[in-house]
Structure 1
């Protein structure tokens, strides 16, 4: 792939961790606990292992075609028209993801902080800033996100540690009070969001500097393990804090922060969790928009992805206005449709192309 920009394996790992953890650490625990109950952390281990398998397939394909993105080596392996047909599901779901991430910010702000403000007052600025960041390029994103990630990690770790006096270990048992079915349901839910989404980085691997050797494999695998551990810890802390009510707290980490009051010195620190959600979702929005523009550019063989950034961001913004009729309908889409759609849109094309690449070992 012809390109001017490049990042190190460590910077790619930072982008990957931001993408996988940014919004999911706040959005995942409550619905996951509602589905899997106390076995929520086991669901994360299962879905995380499935995400690891997808990542291994992507790294194998990157080793075979180090200079090509998923769209480009798919065209080389199965042809342009089959790739175009195969891309219908991924493209539609990436656009849905882009809408969902930003809409979550608007719904969070309206339900938790500014109830009378229309959603577009939150979503439009996010899309605008994300589009400008995409135009700036992946190198700028990698450097900027390194600093933002440090602040988010400090905020979230502080909240989880300050809440220890309220944790009740007895809430963690029994682990599977209603058998294995809720755990598998939770695993399916978390595979659709966030672990099937590792697929998007098959478009970004060609930006890693070739002089880095084989370090990308190690960095990406360790980063995914760190993400799984992080989500498991936040989920377990949520269960220990709220017990049977953990599954009905919509933004559980935000609610956890509300309970913290240290000697009337540290109060109302849920605001830092709100900032973490906005920052994490913004970074994930930017990466998703970047990948969507790259995907379309490579699929249609356009010269530069920057020319379509603003139009695509505008389409996604309009989708946040007309794509759902009520908050409850959106919750149902994310909880029921999203996991199945995401699993199908990302896992099936990746598995198919990996099998073809394995069979056609002579293709370079």
Structure 2
């Protein structure tokens, strides 16, 4: 089933970095700072450490069940009915994730550029592109996203460098002015988005070429380290520029880019960050739709997941329109409900599968 398409270990690492960093690097600093204040970077360290543990569990499962996806080795170890029970929360979360990512793109456009355009028009255009990209396959996605994430990261670096003039290190102090609870709240938020979502890659790891599997683990861990550095760097820079206002501003990097004005030559560069946000969200939505199609296809034992792409994209489109009315409600779901939902849909299956695999491995060794 997985023989038709394959990618290298480095390409899978790029996809993982895209998925973990793409939209989150623009979206996370504002809400995180509103929760954790100047201790936001400590929250990121805590949740990133949890993310590393989740990734190690995923890599262990991949090593013990080479060439198999989560649905495949779950069916092999605990049977079909229990696999369906684990897969239902997983599928509902990925459905909502795809819809939520595109909703975020729509909200961004409505608040900054296309104020008179109906949301359903924006969502329909995005989902059409997302579904066509997902249908083209993981090989095409890997090549395309390597270029797009390079441009995205470069635009973020340029924005941060141009904003150095506005840095005020005194905004970073005092650290944790309100104690440990806000920091833990921030860690709870970021442990759900994006680190709780790592288990989705259990559906994609079988696509790594056999000869590359030894390098695969190192590449994934390297991508995780790069992700942590990017998040902490962007969050610290945002706090230094915006200070106490950072927690009340959405799309933090977009607002920082608006401030940049160098000798009336370099100004109004927020369109670059707007591009980075849209492209990052598009890439993550495409990966989520691909994972959704693969999961449903493996549950139904279909040979080709592509026949599900357009129907699932249509369901996602309808969800993005009717599910959440307004930005406040969506922000509340992401900040409070999403981490718990991720724990049930992603972290719990990861723990169950890891424990069962450990137990059976020990049994075989004896």
Give the TM-score normalised by structure 1.
0.98
Corresponding position of 2:160: 160
Question: 2 CA distance for matches of 1:82 and 1:213?
Answer: 29
Corresponding position of 2:287: 287
Corresponding position of 2:322: 322
Answering whether residue 228 of structure 2 is matched by residue 204 of structure 1, we say: no
Gaps of at least 5 residues in structure 1 are: none
Question: Which string of whole-angstrom CA distances, capped at 9 and with x for unpartnered residues, describes residues 194-246 of structure 1?
Answer: 00111111111110001114111110011011101101010001100011110
Q: What's the C-alpha RMSD, in Å, of the aligned pairs? A: 1.2
Question: 1 CA distance for matches of 2:162 and 2:244?
Answer: 21
Residues 218 and 229 of structure 1: is their aligned pair in 2 closer, same or farther, counting only changes over 3 Å?
A: same
3-state SS of paired residue (1:214): helix
Question: 2 CA distance for matches of 1:30 and 1:2?
Answer: 40
Answering whether residue 28 of structure 2 is matched by residue 28 of structure 1, we say: yes
Post-superposition offset of 1:36? 0.6
Corresponding position of 1:346: 346
Contact kept in structure 1, 2:9 and 2:213, CA below 8 Å: no
Contact kept in structure 1, 2:2 and 2:207, CA below 8 Å: no
3-state SS of paired residue (1:66): coil
Question: 2 CA distance for matches of 1:27 and 1:238?
Answer: 12
Post-superposition offset of 1:311? 0.4
Question: Which string of whole-angstrom CA distances, capped at 9 and with x for unpartnered residues, describes residues 126-153 of structure 1?
Answer: 1111111111100000001111111111
Question: 2 CA distance for matches of 1:343 and 1:183?
Answer: 19
Corresponding position of 2:217: 217
Question: 2 CA distance for matches of 1:28 and 1:327?
Answer: 15
Corresponding position of 2:92: 92
Corresponding position of 1:188: 188
Between stretches 260-269 and 161-170, larger displacement belongs to 260-269
Corresponding position of 2:360: 360
Question: Which string of whole-angstrom CA distances, capped at 9 and with x for unpartnered residues, describes residues 258-310 of structure 1?
Answer: 00011111111000000011111111011000000001111111121000100
Answering whether residue 145 of structure 2 is matched by residue 145 of structure 1, we say: yes
Post-superposition offset of 1:343? 2.2
Corresponding position of 1:259: 259
Post-superposition offset of 1:71? 0.7
Question: 1 CA distance for matches of 2:331 and 2:222?
Answer: 32
3-state SS of paired residue (1:125): helix
Question: 2 CA distance for matches of 1:262 and 1:2?
Answer: 52
Question: 1 CA distance for matches of 2:213 and 2:88?
Answer: 34
Corresponding position of 2:8: 8
Answering whether residue 246 of structure 2 is matched by residue 246 of structure 1, we say: yes
Between stretches 298-307 and 354-363, larger displacement belongs to 354-363
Post-superposition offset of 1:326? 2.5
Corresponding position of 2:72: 72
Give the TM-score normalised by structure 2.
0.98
Answering whether residue 58 of structure 2 is matched by residue 58 of structure 1, we say: yes
Question: 2 CA distance for matches of 1:4 and 1:303?
Answer: 11
Corresponding position of 1:103: 103
Answering whether residue 232 of structure 2 is matched by residue 232 of structure 1, we say: yes
Corresponding position of 2:125: 125
Question: 1 CA distance for matches of 2:242 and 2:206?
Answer: 44
Residues 213 and 334 of structure 1: is their aligned pair in 2 closer, same or farther, counting only changes over 3 Å?
A: closer
Corresponding position of 2:270: 270
Post-superposition offset of 1:325? 2.3
Question: 1 CA distance for matches of 2:213 and 2:244?
Answer: 49
Question: Which string of whole-angstrom CA distances, capped at 9 and with x for unpartnered residues, describes residues 59-81 of structure 1?
Answer: 11111111100110011111110
Question: Which string of whole-angstrom CA distances, capped at 9 and with x for unpartnered residues, describes residues 335-364 of structure 1?
Answer: 21112111221101110110001101167x
